[in-house]
Chain A
Amino acid sequence: MTLERVQSNLRGIAYAMLMVVTVAALMRVLREIGYPLQSSMLFIIPVLIAGSRWGLVPALVAAGGGIAISAYFFIYPLYGFSVTEHQSLVRVLLYVFVAVVTSHLSSQLKRQIEISRQREIDMRDLYAFSRRLAVAFDVPEIHAAIEDHLASVTERRVILFANAQEAASGKGRRGGGAVPDKVRTKVGEIAANPQAATASALVETANRETWLVRAVSPKSPEFGVVAVNLGHEHDAVINELRVRVETALADATATLERLGVAHAISEARMRAQTEQLREALIGSVSHELRTPLASIIGAATVLGSAPALAGEGKLKALVTDVHDEAERLNHDIQNLLDASRISSDGINPKAEWADPADIINSALDRCRRRLKGHPVSLDVPVDLPLLHIDPVLIKQALVQVFDNAAKYSPAGAPIGVTVKNLGKQISITVHDHGVGLTDSEKTSMLDRFFRGERLAATTSGSGLGLWIANAFVDANGGQLITNSDGPDLGTSITIELPVAEAAMTNVDNDSDE
């Protein structure tokens, strides 16, 4: 029996006695004011309460106390422990019998409640654990989940080592203080050969703390090895904790296996490596391809305006070709970069108050070169509300839309831009007189890498433009809608953007006019 247990028993006994005395006092008061109670059955109450709250020992003490007090104070002859009347004797015996039985029953009930409460907590822990695992994406998250689960089950410090190297460094997943050398060595041993270590090992450190070391799952070494600091405890407690750890780990492993986490971990590792490789690739594409392009485009423009080429029409045309093609390549690379950024880390719009007219003008400005020859008409109402969006992203979306309109319209065909204020949102529609859309093209137009089959052979492109535009608009809480009356009847692409509730209109009205 631990010290805590003794303490809690003593406390229970004290409370039980207090209740017995209270009942006695109550009976005494009742007798004084003219309601004498013959029955000592009232003393059953403290027994029941003590039994259900503090267990068998306090209940028995309450029963004994009740007998003594009623014999002394309430049963003739008063103020003596002897019981002479037959009736009283029967009553006392009955009381003793009832008291013993009920105290036993109630303390058993208490144990049952405790056990079921503990089970409930365990179940809740396990449930929380499996829920956490289900949403864990990478190995560190899974390890953290195992660590936290064990810590909450054992109420001890738990450190998880993913592998032998981690054990050697002495640092667990999340640091959390130093681990004694002896424990570290043991973790290293088990991590090196998890199949051999099926049971948990106990390690006693220099300052007499007991540590429990065990592979999370002997079958799946990738789950790692846990070390639990059991502290200074007696053997019985250590055994109890050990059983708890074993049970928790068995449950945890079952959950992990059910979720296919072992497989997932190795896959996640592979994915992380692939991701790294891809990031590196994108980084180098961005640098290695765009840097030479900057030189090519820059050099082409210098050449194009060189006095030596003045009057050399054919040579100048060649230089223009170099420039145009390099620009196109640059545009494609930019699209690839945007696309991989969208799919790898999502988009973080930096919203600010922006004037939709500014965004449209800025996009048109950017597309000047590509819109060359297409007369552009602009229908923008005055007094458009300001929008709370990322203007740069929306501009880039519009650039893609303009690019698309120019690409799929015959040279010289007009392109129109119409802006409408719809109250809760504004719509920007770009309509062209180009090749239009078939029904099937309409549905798949916004798919990644989609290219209409009718024109794939005659126009160039990666099929990313509108997909990017759609992602950028979507990230700003808007939507992109494509429409067409049919093949060769032109296409209109509408970007709808939300108008914030508190659209700013009544700011500072320059009252110092």
Chain B
Amino acid sequence: MSNPGSVVLIVDDEVQIRRFLRTGFELNGYNVHEAGTGAEAIRLATLQPIDLVITDLALPDVDGAEIVERIRSWSSVPIIVLSVRSNESEKVKLLELGADDYIVKPFGMAELMARVRVAMRRQMRAASGEPIVKVGPLAINLATRSVTLNDERLTLTPKEYRLLQVLAQHAGNVVTHQHLLKEVWGSIHVHDTHYLRIFVRKLRQKIEPDPNIPRILLTELGVGYRLAQSGSEPENAAAGMENSVKSTN
């Protein structure tokens, strides 16, 4: 699901990175704007309507986190952060600041496009008010608060539903542990990760075809959880299925 004519702003100080991103996005039908510094990025973002921002974390003038914060102060445009540091606490910080997703360099174009599609789709759903989020055989109706698996209605406890609801509202994107804990258990429990682990386990028993190999409610170690979206599987997902990871239990 590409969005022909959508405008993407690419912010990175490495010209080679910008070049392949530009080509990749143009092949997918996007209009591309480039910025090499934070200041230029902010200037471009204020000059014209932008549909998507891809920003590097290490810029010569400002921290990428600052760009996220500044853009978020006036716009809800999807932002995806590129990072070389696979530092979990930094990812959490960026997500809390309002980034939609992150991707660690080096990455493949297909992987990035999958993240982009998810972020843009969420944006569109939020705009259209579409109440149903579908993940494979699972359908969550946010309006009627009903959850069905293969068209059969599931019985969830209030907290299980709340957990699924928060994830569905961000379907495809990572939701941090802290955010989930705050939304479901309240802000005094933001450090009680074990609550989350146990409820996710219970929820997976109900919604996953094979709870040992989750395909719907995915774990982002050290960061949070994400609800899979057809577009959010990494580039080799299809190839990966050939690996036939089987649970013998």
CB distance from A9 to the nearest CB of B (A): 65
Contact B249–A380 (Cβ < 8 Å): yes
Per the bound structure, the CA–CA distance linking A309 and B74 in Å amounts to: 42
Contact A298–B21 (Cβ < 8 Å): yes
Binds B, one of A143-151, A172-180, A191-199, A364-372: A364-372
A166 at the interface (CB under 8 A from B): no
Contact B159–A512 (Cβ < 8 Å): yes
Interface string of B179-192 (1 = CB under 8 A from A): 00000010000001
Per a CB cutoff under 8 Å, which of A326, A361, A368, A374 touches B236? A368
A267 at the interface (CB under 8 A from B): no
| A353/B243 contact (C-beta < 8 A), A295-B14, A381-B249, A508-B185 known | no
Tell me which residues across on chain A come within 8 A of B193, comparing CB atoms: 352-354
Per a CB cutoff under 8 Å, which of A350, A376, A510 touches B245? A376
Per the bound structure, the CA–CA distance linking A373 and B243 in Å amounts to: 6
B39 at the interface (CB under 8 A from A): no
CB distance from A485 to the nearest CB of B (A): 21
| A294/B84 contact (C-beta < 8 A), A299-B16, A368-B240 known | yes
| A380/B106 contact (C-beta < 8 A), A302-B20, A362-B219 known | no
Tell me which residues across on chain B come within 8 A of A353, comparing CB atoms: 193-194, 197
Tell me which residues across on chain B come within 8 A of A430, comparing CB atoms: none
Contact B243–A365 (Cβ < 8 Å): no
Interface string of B224-249 (1 = CB under 8 A from A): 00000000001111011011111111
Contact B159–A510 (Cβ < 8 Å): yes
Closest to A395 in B: B221
Contact B242–A372 (Cβ < 8 Å): yes
A301 at the interface (CB under 8 A from B): yes
B212 at the interface (CB under 8 A from A): yes
B1 at the interface (CB under 8 A from A): no
Tell me which residues across on chain B come within 8 A of A326, comparing CB atoms: 106
A126 at the interface (CB under 8 A from B): no
B145 at the interface (CB under 8 A from A): no
Tell me which residues across on chain A come within 8 A of B107, comparing CB atoms: 294, 297-298
A204 at the interface (CB under 8 A from B): no
| A379/B160 contact (C-beta < 8 A), A290-B105, A368-B239 known | no
B24 at the interface (CB under 8 A from A): yes
Per the bound structure, the CA–CA distance linking A16 and B89 in Å amounts to: 72
Interface centre among A292, A294, A307 (most CB of B within 10 A): A294
Contact A301–B246 (Cβ < 8 Å): no
B47 at the interface (CB under 8 A from A): no
Closest to B223 in A: A392
Interface string of A300-338 (1 = CB under 8 A from B): 011001110000000000000001001100100000000
CB distance from B68 to the nearest CB of A (A): 20
Contact A391–B242 (Cβ < 8 Å): no
B154 at the interface (CB under 8 A from A): no
B136 at the interface (CB under 8 A from A): no
| A373/B106 contact (C-beta < 8 A), A361-B213, A365-B234 known | no
| A330/B242 contact (C-beta < 8 A), A507-B192, A507-B198 known | no
CB distance from B246 to the nearest CB of A (A): 5
CB distance from A307 to the nearest CB of B (A): 7
Per the bound structure, the CA–CA distance linking A330 and B84 in Å amounts to: 12
Per the bound structure, the CA–CA distance linking A508 and B211 in Å amounts to: 21
| A510/B243 contact (C-beta < 8 A), A294-B106, A391-B221 known | no
CB distance from A351 to the nearest CB of B (A): 10
Tell me which residues across on chain A come within 8 A of B199, comparing CB atoms: 510
A386 at the interface (CB under 8 A from B): yes
A interface, size bucket:
35 or more
A382 at the interface (CB under 8 A from B): yes
Interface string of B83-104 (1 = CB under 8 A from A): 0100011000000000000000
Tell me which residues across on chain B come within 8 A of A372, comparing CB atoms: 236, 239-240, 242-243
Tell me which residues across on chain A come within 8 A of B197, comparing CB atoms: 353-355, 358, 386, 504
CB distance from B109 to the nearest CB of A (A): 4
Per the bound structure, the CA–CA distance linking A379 and B249 in Å amounts to: 6
B44 at the interface (CB under 8 A from A): no
Per the bound structure, the CA–CA distance linking A29 and B88 in Å amounts to: 86
Per a CB cutoff under 8 Å, which of A290, A350, A377, A382 touches B106? A290
Contact A292–B27 (Cβ < 8 Å): no
Tell me which residues across on chain A come within 8 A of B158, comparing CB atoms: 510, 512-513
Contact B245–A364 (Cβ < 8 Å): yes
Tell me which residues across on chain B come within 8 A of A290, comparing CB atoms: 84, 105-106
A169 at the interface (CB under 8 A from B): no
Tell me which residues across on chain B come within 8 A of A371, comparing CB atoms: 243
B5 at the interface (CB under 8 A from A): no
B23 at the interface (CB under 8 A from A): yes
Per the bound structure, the CA–CA distance linking A99 and B221 in Å amounts to: 86
Per the bound structure, the CA–CA distance linking A378 and B195 in Å amounts to: 25
| A301/B221 contact (C-beta < 8 A), A392-B88, A513-B157 known | no
Residues of A within 8 A of B (CB): 286-287, 290-299, 301-302, 305-307, 323, 326-327, 330, 350, 352-355, 357-359, 361-362, 364-365, 368-369, 371-382, 386, 390-392, 395, 504-505, 507-508, 510, 512-513
Residues of B within 8 A of A (CB): 14, 16-17, 19-21, 23-24, 27, 84, 88-89, 105-111, 157-160, 185, 192-195, 197-201, 211-214, 219-222, 234-237, 239-240, 242-249
14 A–B contacts, CB within 8 A, in A order: A290-B105, A294-B105, A294-B107, A297-B106, A298-B109, A353-B197, A355-B219, A357-B212, A361-B219, A364-B245, A372-B243, A377-B246, A378-B245, A380-B247
15 more CB-based (< 8 A) A-B contacts, given A330-B106, A354-B193, A365-B240: A286-B84, A290-B106, A294-B84, A294-B106, A295-B17, A295-B20, A298-B24, A298-B109, A307-B27, A358-B197, A361-B213, A372-B239, A372-B242, A377-B247, A504-B194
